[in-house]
């Protein structure tokens, strides 16, 4: 309690002096977003999810049981962000190793690189975003079950029970869910299977209505009894295939049988003595977080100040370069060559740094790097830590709000719209405004490029922090900024998460900024040649830090997640 009060006092003092924090979400107070514990700590974007994780520890379960329960509850509680029709990544540190689990969706066998183009080679509007063709083969269930089967302590039926209960009995529609429903109302209304669940008397559900998902509860029961086969074979598989047949979609039983979870080697880098560990391709997150930190490492950001225009200018310029490289070099490394070593090398960071001045570079002045081929080769996030040194950091998604908008009839879950994370053609723009290159074109069984970045920071062999966030391309810049806020600017964890954020992704050629930066900061950045757009950063960082054997949890107070610990 004393430590918590001290943290709050320190952050209030520092906040009043030289940096600004973001506004809290609607009806949110700081209290539920922050917790201190010593046995375990959980931060998720959903209250039911955090409490389900806590229940697993209380039942004698381990960190994997908590992660599994949280995954399934989030699938029910946040259908706009994630779901069993989606996929994700999970970074897991145990006493002796670190594993990077990839359960990203895959392109169906019958897909091809021109699937989203008409005969003239033009993009077919929204085909990669709405409806059946937007959906990749789901990976979430296979992923979390494989991890649970290998390392969980409690029976599967016990860890899925909270999700079944929530789906069966329902919960009250909260403001963010109501907002997402309103944004996607037209698409959701167009599918009878979606309408049946998310509309009442012809109207989309509103804040305060009850959302009950009985079909989803039955699908979860099937998974609880039959494991992977309860989703990828049998009745649920037939429901997925029938939905595809109904809309001339591509996913077949063979796609479901072939879905495979991958364990990959995490990406690692170093920043001023801290080890940064994050997700490798098909996520671009780890590579570009490390690239951005490498570029910034030789600047004295701390003495310039966290929200000083010079700090913002150089940080945004590093982000701009990262996204120029992303468009050119990134894709599923199982299919294309990704120059991981080059992009994350200190030498390349030096080369980029030598091109940076006090003035902004225009988009046309920023070239992707050249690397030798011979070298070594809208989402949700939760973070958990325990007193045994175990850490789980996982980002999961159906991509945009409610994925494809199409609920599998009778099975009660949305198919994702992750196919939009592929390049529909070289140079095309995805849902998050990012440019796609030829390495990220659709190919059967390929995984679309992602920005999801579950990450862990260590020093001298000890975990310092673990974190991640949703929000498409903004994910990697929000994670990089939160790491910088904590280890470079030495802010308390709450302020590191809540400090105002900015984002540059090379295209379009501007800095997105959160509301609240002083006019004089923006005026200074304008004189350097930057343009701005206010808004458009919706990251909700879930972070845990270890400070003197205490576990400090912060669930981004822009959202309605909670931190719970003991
Ligand atoms: N669907 C967003 C991402 O994977 O980055």
pLDDT of residue 349: 98
498 lies in the same domain as 533: yes
> Rounded mean pLDDT of 135-141?
98
CA of 548 to the centre of ligand 1 (A): 34
Using 50, 70 and 90 to split pLDDT, how confident is the model at 12?
very low
The residue contributing the CA closest to ligand 1 atom 1 is 399
422 Cα–ligand 1 center, Å: 10
Whether 79 shows a pLDDT value over 50: the answer reads: yes
Measured between alpha carbons, how far is 25 from 2 in angstroms, rounded to an integer?
26
Q: Could you tell me the distance, in angstroms and rounded to a whole number, from the CA of residue 314 to the centre of ligand 1?
A: 25
The stretch 312-341 carries a mean pLDDT of 97
**3-class SS at 309?**
helix
Enumerate the β-bridge partners of residue 396. 88, 380
Confirm whether 1 is domain-assigned. Answer: no
pLDDT in tens, 379-413: 899 999 999 999 999 999 999 999 999 999 999 99
- Residues 414 and 480 both lie in one domain: no
Q: Are residues 416 and 488 in the same domain?
A: no
Write down the pLDDT at residue 96.
83
Does residue 164 belong to any structural domain of this protein? Answer: yes
- Please indicate whether residue 450, judged by its CB atom, sits closer than 6 Å to ligand 1: yes
> Does some domain include residue 10?
no
The number of C-alpha atoms within 13 Å of 343 and in the hemisphere containing its C-beta is 32
Dihedrals phi, psi of 106, to nearest 5 degrees: -120, 150
Residues 425, 117: contact at Cβ < 8 Å? Answer: yes
Q: Is 379 a catalytic residue?
A: yes
Q: Are 243 and 158 found together in one domain?
A: yes
Q: In whole angstroms, what is the distance from residue 319 CA to residue 505 CA? A: 6
Asked if residues 223 and 231 have their Cβ atoms less than 8 Å apart, the reply is yes
Q: Within 13 A of 63's CA, how many CA atoms are on the CB side? A: 25
Indicate which atom in ligand 1 lies nearest the CA of residue 285.
5
Q: Which of 237, 255, 251 is nearest to 133 (CA)?
A: 251
* Helix axis angle, 47-58 to 63-77, nearest 10°: 150
328 three-state secondary structure: helix
Give yes or no for residue 283 CB within 6 A of ligand 1: no
Q: What's the order of all strands across the beta sheet hosting 34-37?
A: 34-37, 550-555, 542-547, 462-468, 455-459, 274-278, 267-271
Residue nearest to atom 2 of ligand 1 (CA): 472
Assess whether 491 and 346 both reside in one domain. Answer: yes
For strands 542-547 and 210-211, give the pairing: unpaired
Choosing from 440, 466, 482, the residue where a domain stops is 440
Q: Using 50, 70 and 90 to split pLDDT, how confident is the model at 374?
A: low
- List, for residues 201-220, the tens digit of each pLDDT value: 999 999 999 999 999 999 99
Q: Residue-wise over 178-216: b if at least 16 C-beta within 10 A, else e?
A: bebbeebbebbbebebbeebbbeeeebbeeebebebebb
CA distance 522 to 520: 5
Q: Which of 524, 566, 415, 554 is nearest to 45 (CA)?
A: 554
Q: What is the pLDDT of residues 165-185, one digit of tens each?
A: 999 999 999 999 999 999 999
Q: Check residue 18 and give its pLDDT.
A: 87
Q: Are residues 341 and 298 in the same domain?
A: yes
- Cβ(399) to ligand 1 under 6 A? yes
Largest CA distance in the chain: 67
Beta bridge partners of 391: 93, 385
Regarding whether 513 and 417 lie in a shared domain, the answer is: no
Per-residue pLDDT, 464: 97
Output DSSP code: residue 15. H
User: Can you count the helices (H) and strands (E) in the chain?
Assistant: 20, 21
pLDDT (tens digit per residue) in 244-284: 999 999 999 999 999 999 999 999 999 999 999 999 999 99
Which whole number is the average pLDDT over 500-527?
Answer: 95
Q: Are residues 429 and 507 in the same domain?
A: no
**Which pLDDT does position 95 carry in this prediction?**
84
Q: For residue 321, how many C-alpha atoms fall within 13 Å in the half-sphere facing its CB?
A: 29
What is the rounded CA–CA span in Å between residue 41 and residue 61?
A: 14
Does 545 score more than 80 pLDDT?
Answer: yes
CATH number at 519 reads 3.60.20.40
Predicted confidence (pLDDT) at residue 149 exceeds the cutoff of 90: yes
Please tell me whether residues 215 and 320 are part of one structural domain: no
425/467 same-domain check: no
Q: What are the distances in angstroms from CA 82 to CA 114, 403, 462? A: 27, 8, 31
DSSP code, position 488: I
Residue 12 domain flag: no
Residue finishing a domain among 419, 440, 461:
440
- Residue 537's pLDDT band (boundaries 50, 70, 90)? confident
Q: pTM for the whole thing?
A: 0.95
Among 18-32, 189-203, 223-237, 493-507, where is mean pLDDT lowest?
Answer: 18-32
Domain span at 518:
264-379+451-565
Q: Give dist(CA 523, CA 512) in Å, integer.
A: 15
* Nearest ligand 1 atom, CA 284: 5
In-domain check, residue 22: no
SS3 labels along 189-223: HCCHHHHHHHEECCEECCCCCEECCHHHHHHHHHH
Residue 253 in any domain: the answer is: yes
Q: Which residue, among 325, 319, 352, has the nearest Cα to 339 in the 3D structure?
A: 325
Q: What is the CA radius of gyration of the chain?
A: 22
- Note whether 393 and 272 are same-domain residues: no
Element containing residue 532 per DSSP (H, E): strand 532-534
Number of domains the chain contains: 2
pLDDT at 308 over 70: yes
494-509 pLDDT tens trace: 999 999 999 999 999 9
Quick check: CB of 42 below 6 Å from ligand 1? no
Distance 491 CA to ligand 1 centre (A): 28
Q: Which element (helix H / strand E) includes 234?
A: helix 234-246
Q: Tell me, what's the pLDDT at 17?
A: 53
Rounded to 10 degrees, the C-alpha dihedral 11/15/16/21 comes to -130
Q: What is the per-residue pLDDT for 433?
A: 86
Are the C-beta atoms of 391 and 398 separated by less than 8 Å? no
Instruction: Estimate the crossing angle of helix 474-483 against helix 285-296, to 10 degrees.
Output: 40
Residues 353, 496: Cα–Cα separation, whole Å: 25
pLDDT at 7 over 60: no
State in Å: Cα 537 to ligand 1 middle: 14
**Do 269 and 257 share a structural domain?**
no
Residue 95 lies inside a defined structural domain of this protein? no
The pLDDT of 510-537, averaged and rounded, is 94
Length of the chain measured in residues: 566
Q: How far apart are the first and last CA of the chain?
A: 12
Q: Which of 315, 379, 473, 477 is catalytic?
A: 379
Average pLDDT, the chain: 94
């Amino acid at each position: 309690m004393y430590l918590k009060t001290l943290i709050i006092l320190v952050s209030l003092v520092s906040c009043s002096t030289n940096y600004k924090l973001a506004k809290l979400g609607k009806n949110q107070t700081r209290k539920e977003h922050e917790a201190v514990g010593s046995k375990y700590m959980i931060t998720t974007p959903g209250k039911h999810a955090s409490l389900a994780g806590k229940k697993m520890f209380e039942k004698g379960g381990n960190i994997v049981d908590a992660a599994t329960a949280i995954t399934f509850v989030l699938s029910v509680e946040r259908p706009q962000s994630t779901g069993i029709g989606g996929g994700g990544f999970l970074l897991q540190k145990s006493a002796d190793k670190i594993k990077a689990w990839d359960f990203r969706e895959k392109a169906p066998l019958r897909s091809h690189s021109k699937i989203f183009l008409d005969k003239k080679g033009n993009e077919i509007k929204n085909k990669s975003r709405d409806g059946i063709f937007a959906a990749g083969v789901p990976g979430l269930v296979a992923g979390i079950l494989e991890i649970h089967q290998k390392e969980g302590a409690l029976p599967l039926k016990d860890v899925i029970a909270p999700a079944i209960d929530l789906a069966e009995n329902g919960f009250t529609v909260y403001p963010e869910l109501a907002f997402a429903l309103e944004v996607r109302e037209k698409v959701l209304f167009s599918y009878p299977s979606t309408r049946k669940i998310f509309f009442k008397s012809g109207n989309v559900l509103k804040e305060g209505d009850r959302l009950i998902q009985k079909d989803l509860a039955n699908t979860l029961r099937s998974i609880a009894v039959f494991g992977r086969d309860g989703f990828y074979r049998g009745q649920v598989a037939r429901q997925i295939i029938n939905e595809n047949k109904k809309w001339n979609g591509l996913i077949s039983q063979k796609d479901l049988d072939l879905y495979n979870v991958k364990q990959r080697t995490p990406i690692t880098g170093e920043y001023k003595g801290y080890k940064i560990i994050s997700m490798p391709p098909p996520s671009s997150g780890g590579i570009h977080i490390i690239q951005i930190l490498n570029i910034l490492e030789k600047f004295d950001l701390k003495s310039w100040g966290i929200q000083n225009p010079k700090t913002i200018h150089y940080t945004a310029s590093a982000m701009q370069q990262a996204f120029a490289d992303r468009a050119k070099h990134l894709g599923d490394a199982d299919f294309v060559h990704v120059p991981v070593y080059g992009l994350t090398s200190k030498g390349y960071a030096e080369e980029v740094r030598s091109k940076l001045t006090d003035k902004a570079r225009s988009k046309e002045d920023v070239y992707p790097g050249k690397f030798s081929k011979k070298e070594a080769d809208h989402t949700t996030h939760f973070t958990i830590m325990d007193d045994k040194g175990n850490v789980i950091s996982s980002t999961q998604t159906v991509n945009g709000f409610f994925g494809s908008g199409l609920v599998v009839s009778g099975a009660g879950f949305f198919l994702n719209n992750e196919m939009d994370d592929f390049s529909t053609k070289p140079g095309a723009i995805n849902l998050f405004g990012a440019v796609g290159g030829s390495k990220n074109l659709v190919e059967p069984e390929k995984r679309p490029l992602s920005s999801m970045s579950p990450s862990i920071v260590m020093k001298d062999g000890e975990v310092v922090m673990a974190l991640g966030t949703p929000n498409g391309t903004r994910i990697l810049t929000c994670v990089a900024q939160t790491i910088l806020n904590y280890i470079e600017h030495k802010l308390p964890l709450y302020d590191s998460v809540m400090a105002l954020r900015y984002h540059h992704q090379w295209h379009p050629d501007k800095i997105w900024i959160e509301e609240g930066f002083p006019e004089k900061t923006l005026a200074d950045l304008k004189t350097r040649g930057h343009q701005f757009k206010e808004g458009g950063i919706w990251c909700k960082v879930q972070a845990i830090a270890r400070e003197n054997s205490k576990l400090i949890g912060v669930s981004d107070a822009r959202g309605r997640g909670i931190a719970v610990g003991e």
